[in-house]
Amino acid sequence: MFKTKSPEPAKQGLNIIIVGCGKVGATLIEQLSREGHDITIIDQNAQKIQEITNQYDIMGMTGNGASYNVQMEAGIENTDLFIAVTGSDELNLLCCTIAKRVGECSAIARVRTPDYSHEISYLREKLGLAMIINPELEAAREIARILYLPTALEVNSFAHGQAELIKLKIPEGNALDGITLADFGKNTTADILICAIERNGDVYIPSGNFQMLKGDVVSFVATRKTAKAFLESSGFQTNQVKDTMIIGGSRAAYYLAEQLLHMGISVKIIENDRARCEALSILLPKAIIINGDGTDQELLEEEGIIYAESFVPLTGIDEENILLTLYARQVSKAKVITKINRINFKDVISRLDLGSVIYPRYITSEAIIAYVRAKKASMNSNVETLYHMFDNKAEAIEFRVNETSSVTNIPLMDLSLKKNLLISFISRNGAIIIPSGKDCIKVGDTVMIVTTHTGFNDIQDILE
């Protein structure tokens, strides 16, 4: 049985200032401090600063993150990376603008308002920011990818959308139940690679003699087209849903509805606030907007929950989202996706039958951590994408190979790779290669690895 290994000795950490210690700020602190960075947190709430500095080995300052004096006191002149994740978009942009003027640092801002969502590249370029991240928009994109392939529990995109990491659960009586990976390889013509399996809370990077069983949660890599063909041949449903019912008219609901309508999926949104309903009906003229209480059983039945093909509760309250999902599971065959903002009681949540679960704060932190690791990497390679799998027990990391190194131009079977690690695909000149032992990594490739090790910054970290 493979267990998660403690992090490898890291290169010297970065000096990072984080403004705002809400949900995303706290998640970033937890993950970045684990990776050995020097962190200073700024927030106007002294109690929050006290709580978080007691919990982690970091510096804390009470004050306004957009203040020149506060930034100077926090050490902006020696900072490598400045991250603003307060609840205000404008404050985040202002904090980053001042940081860029005062220090020699890279800056990342969280910006969530739809008004800015179409201007992100303009704002990033003009303000000189390394990244602008929108958690609600990213969560909506992930939900849309799942509704395109409703069998999946999760769908994550790599190599600029050319390859997908797809997670699904093996049902009883399925073609995958009871076969080894070696037999699976012989019997399938599809170019796919099973790269991680979770069973009873343990995560395995499987070898050829590993036998898959019903109830296993399997992650595999393939192109979108190949994935659909493989799922069809294995007895999984592959048609995208025709309609969806969204509860709550939040920003995430707006972003999701916009994408689903573009995909040709009918959208119905139930929202309690009349003014918000009127605004949504102007923003989304092709969607059906219902003014009412989305937690009212009678209203849900009236609006056709029983016949809905998919159901996505996006209220601001996790408990409501969970109860709505459990109710939808009882009365319909809809594909359900549950958005959860907090991470308390994660073990309890994982035991509930909630279908696909989306954590926006993790989507945000993963994008930022990928950037941090890329900043730490050598010139040989760069972290392009990072995704934490199975509750942080494994990582999928996509590297861009920039220069010749100890991993290039050598057949994979001749590389001395770390245990519990799999090279999942090589992307070369727009084509995805599911590699065999005879394939080599070349300069210019992007390479995805899946591993139970943590903290890889460079492609050479895959070697023993």
For 39, 200, 347, 355, the CA distances from 351, given in Å and listed in that order, are 34, 11, 7, 11
Domains annotated for the chain, with CATH where assigned, are 15-133 (3.40.50.720), 243-358 (3.40.50.720), 364-462 (3.30.70.1450)
Residues 6+ apart with CB under 8 A from 212: 170, 176, 177, 178, 179, 180, 181, 184, 194, 197, 218
Q: What is the pLDDT of residue 7?
A: 43
Query: Residue 245: exposed, middle, or buried by beta-carbon count in 10 A (0-12, 13-18, 19+)?
Result: buried
Cα–Cα distance between 349 and 255 in angstroms, integer? 25
Radius of gyration of the chain measured on its C-alpha atoms: 23
Return per-residue pLDDT of the chain as tens, 464 residues: 333 334 444 447 899 999 999 988 999 999 899 888 999 999 999 999 999 999 999 999 999 999 999 999 999 999 999 999 999 999 999 999 999 999 889 999 999 988 888 888 899 999 999 999 998 998 999 999 999 888 899 998 888 888 999 999 999 888 899 999 999 888 876 789 999 999 988 999 998 899 999 999 999 999 888 888 888 888 887 788 999 999 999 999 999 999 999 999 999 999 999 999 999 999 999 999 999 999 999 999 999 999 999 999 999 899 999 999 999 999 999 999 999 987 677 777 777 888 899 988 888 888 888 888 888 766 666 888 888 888 788 999 999 999 999 999 999 999 999 999 999 999 999 899 999 899 999 999 999 999 999 889 889 999 98
Q: What is the pLDDT of residue 239?
A: 81
Query: Residue 432: exposed, middle, or buried by beta-carbon count in 10 A (0-12, 13-18, 19+)?
Result: buried
Q: What is the pLDDT of residue 343?
A: 65
For 149, 264, 359, 462, the CA distances from 240, given in Å and listed in that order, are 5, 10, 22, 37
The neighbouring-strand residues paired with 358 are: 339
Cα–Cα distance between 75 and 99 in angstroms, integer? 10
Q: What is the pLDDT of residue 377?
A: 67
- Contact predicate 40/59, CB 8 Å: yes
Q: What are phi and psi of 244, to 5 degrees?
A: -145, 145
For 373, 417, 447, 456, the CA distances from 381, given in Å and listed in that order, are 11, 17, 10, 11
Closest CA relative to residue 111, chosen from 83, 137, 138, 132: 132
Report the residue count for the chain: 464
